């Protein structure tokens, strides 16, 4: 029995080690290549750079409107997440308070969350035709689409979390003369900080790295591109310069990595916070 347990443990660590290498190795190549000169990469693509060459980063920032694409990504991400945080928790609170009392809200909850099982490819063409017909093939339209798709997952996790908040709090507020908006944004929001933070962080990671929706909505002008579109088209301009391309990847990866490292504890707290009834 002891030998069997040791064998299983060794196999587990071996599999985990292989998984770590698979994840870390591409990141290692991206980092070291971005700090190499073209000559160093040609000599040995996998070796550590002789010195930290920053010329690749300077070339990326000073050419090809990189700062424009970076600012586009920042605007779309910040504006979309603002709409998501403003709308989805409030909507989920209303559903959570009536889910077990009224059939309409129960149907609405299941109708929205069933969207998890609907592939985006089925909706892609009609959605883009609608957005084009109402002249929303721009950053604002893209942000509205992100808010719409975020509510599928967001309503599911937020509603379950809101149901753990005692109803006595909002009922007392109503008796004191508070409106529903005052109750939501002054009482419920502070109590729901973990799930609101989780909702925001998950969607920041998704929106910043998303490629498909910007490709469909922002393909009419290069000036509207976000960073994923810039990176996709980067290889056609610098088809043989991996050093500059990898420097561009690093410049887009670092901001979102910092956000995740700073906020990962809120994701854990938010996802586990609604799992226990108060």
Query: Which tens digit of pLDDT belongs to each residue from 246-272?
Result: 888 888 888 888 887 877 776 666 555
pLDDT tens-digit profile of 162-221? Answer: 888 888 888 888 888 888 888 888 888 888 888 888 899 889 989 999 999 999 999 888
pLDDT at 274: 47
User: In Å, how far are 45, 47, 76, 133 from 42, measured between CA atoms?
Assistant: 6, 10, 38, 50
| 36 contacts 54 by C-beta, under 8 angstroms | no
pLDDT at 238: 47
Residue 1 reports pLDDT greater than 70: no
Average pLDDT on 72-88 reads 95
Residue 3 buriedness (CB in 10 A; 0-12 / 13-18 / 19+): exposed
CA angle 33, 37, 42 (to 5 degrees): 80
d(C-alpha 136, C-alpha 145), whole Å:
10
d(C-alpha 164, C-alpha 181), whole Å:
19
Lowest-confidence segment of 51-65, 115-129, 132-146, 228-242 by average pLDDT: 228-242
Task: Locate the domains of the chain by residue range.
Answer: 2-53, 56-273
Residue 68 reports pLDDT greater than 70: yes
Lowest-confidence segment of 2-6, 65-69, 132-136, 142-146 by average pLDDT: 2-6
CA angle 255, 258, 264 (to 5 degrees): 135
Q: For the chain, give the mean pLDDT.
A: 85
| CATH architecture assignment, domain 56-273 | Orthogonal Bundle (1.10)
Structure tokens at 122: 């089925």
Give the residue among 225, 228, 235, 222 at the shortest CA–CA distance from 207. 228
The DSSP string of 35-85 is TS-HHHHHH-TTSPPSS---HHHHHHHHSTTHHHHHHHHHHHHHHHHHHHH
Residue 236 reports pLDDT greater than 70: no
* Residue 273: band (very low, low, confident or very high) from pLDDT cuts 50, 70, 90: low
Residue 275 reports pLDDT greater than 50: no
- Structure pTM? 0.84
Give the residue among 255, 149, 165, 141 at the shortest CA–CA distance from 199. 149
The DSSP string of 193-231 is HHHHHHHHHHHHHHHHH--HHHHHHSTT-GGG--HHHHH
Residue 161 buriedness (CB in 10 A; 0-12 / 13-18 / 19+): buried
| 171 contacts 205 by C-beta, under 8 angstroms | no
Structure tokens at 119: 């592939």
- The percent of residues in the chain predicted with pLDDT above 70, rounded, is 90
């Amino acid at each position: 029995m002891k030998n069997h347990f040791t064998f299983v443990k060794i196999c587990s660590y071996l599999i985990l080690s292989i998984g770590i290498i698979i994840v870390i190795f591409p990141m290692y190549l991206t980092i070291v290549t971005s700090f190499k000169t073209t000559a160093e990469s040609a000599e040995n693509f996998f070796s550590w750079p002789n010195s930290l060459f920053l010329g690749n980063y300077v070339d990326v920032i000073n050419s090809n409107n990189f700062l424009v694409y970076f600012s586009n990504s920042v605007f779309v991400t910040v504006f979309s997440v603002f709409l998501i945080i403003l709308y989805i928790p409030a909507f989920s609170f209303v559903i959570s308070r009536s889910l077990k009392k009224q059939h309409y809200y129960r149907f609405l909850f299941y109708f929205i969350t069933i969207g998890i099982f609907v592939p985006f490819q089925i909706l892609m063409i009609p959605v883009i035709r609608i957005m084009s017909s109402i002249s929303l093939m721009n950053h604002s339209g893209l942000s509205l689409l992100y808010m719409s798709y975020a509510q599928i997952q967001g309503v599911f996790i937020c509603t379950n979390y809101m149901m753990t908040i005692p109803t006595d709090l909002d009922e007392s507020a109503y008796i004191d003369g508070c409106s529903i908006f005052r109750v939501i944004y002054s009482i419920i929001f502070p109590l729901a900080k973990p799930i609101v933070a989780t909702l925001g962080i998950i969607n920041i990671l998704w929106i910043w790295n998303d490629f498909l929706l910007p490709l469909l909505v922002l393909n009419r002008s290069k000036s509207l591109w976000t960073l994923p579109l810039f990176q996709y088209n980067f290889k056609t301009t610098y088809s043989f310069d991996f050093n500059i391309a990898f420097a561009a990847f690093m410049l887009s990866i670092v901001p979102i990595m910092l956000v995740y490292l700073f906020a990962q504890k809120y994701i854990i707290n938010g996802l586990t916070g609604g799992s226990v009834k108060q």
